[in-house]
């Protein structure tokens, strides 16, 4: 009788929790498959965890609106830096040197995007925390960079 109860009542309930947790998590910008397993294995507790997660997509959307309206103040750190044109590794090192060591540990080169004239700096969670862009034209093959830290 107990096995039948577990199989007929609890298993479908845990499956429903898994699917709802996956749906909520993916709508918030998290991995739906990981949260399916959390919801399935932990039931309502996994579902509550997915509901309690911060909304990554909303943060990205709000940050995009704010940056398009220049709502972030530019904070010049070390008055920027200079790096050779098209040297992405040196550009990244210059960006990291503008942060104090404890902040620099949270920066993620893998999650960040480095272009020739623009860098979007992200932390290990993938959230944009700063940007760097060139100011003016290259002088002697070196570009001057200004770092903007989002508050």
The confidence band for 1, taking pLDDT boundaries of 50, 70 and 90, is low
Average pLDDT over residues 16-25: 94
Q: How many CB atoms lie within 10 A of CB 149?
A: 18
Closest CA to 147 of 88, 89, 99: 99
Task: Check residues 22 and 120 and name the one with the higher pLDDT.
Answer: 22
| DSSP 8-state class, residue 118 | E
74: tokens are 């530019």
CA separation for the pair 47, 125 (Å, rounded): 21
Rounded Cα–Cα distance for residues 10 and 41 (Å): 11
pTM attached to this predicted model: 0.47
Domain definitions of the chain by residue range: 2-53, 66-149
What's the pLDDT tens digit per position in 25-72? 999 988 999 999 999 999 999 999 999 988 888 877 777 776 666 555
pLDDT for res 111: 82
Locate tokens 């998290």: which residue?
Answer: 30
Q: pLDDT tens-digit profile of 100-136? A: 777 788 888 888 887 777 888 888 877 778 888 776 6
CB atoms within 10 A of CB 150: 16
Give 7's DSSP letter: I
Distance of CA 83 to the CA centre of its chain: 26
Q: How confident is the model at residue 80 (pLDDT cuts 50, 70, 90)?
A: low
Q: Count how many Cα atoms sit within 13 Å of the Cα of residue 123 in the half-sphere of its side chain.
A: 11
The predicted structure's pLDDT at residue 86: 57
């Amino acid at each position: 009788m107990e096995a039948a109860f577990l199989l007929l009542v609890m298993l479908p309930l845990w499956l429903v929790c898994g699917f709802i947790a996956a749906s909520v998590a993916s709508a918030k910008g998290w991995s739906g498959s990981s949260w399916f397993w959390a919801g399935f294995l932990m039931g309502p507790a996994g579902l509550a965890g997915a509901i309690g997660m911060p909304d990554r997509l909303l943060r990205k959307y709000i940050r995009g609106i704010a940056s398009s309206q220049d709502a972030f103040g530019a904070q010049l750190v070390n008055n920027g830096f200079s790096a050779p044109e098209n040297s992405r590794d040196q550009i990244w090192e210059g960006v990291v040197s503008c942060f104090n060591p404890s902040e620099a540990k949270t920066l993620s080169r893998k999650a960040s995007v480095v272009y020739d004239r623009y860098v979007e700096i992200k932390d290990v969670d993938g959230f944009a925390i700063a940007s760097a862009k060139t100011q003016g034209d290259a002088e002697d093959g070196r570009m001057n960079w200004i770092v903007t830290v989002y508050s």
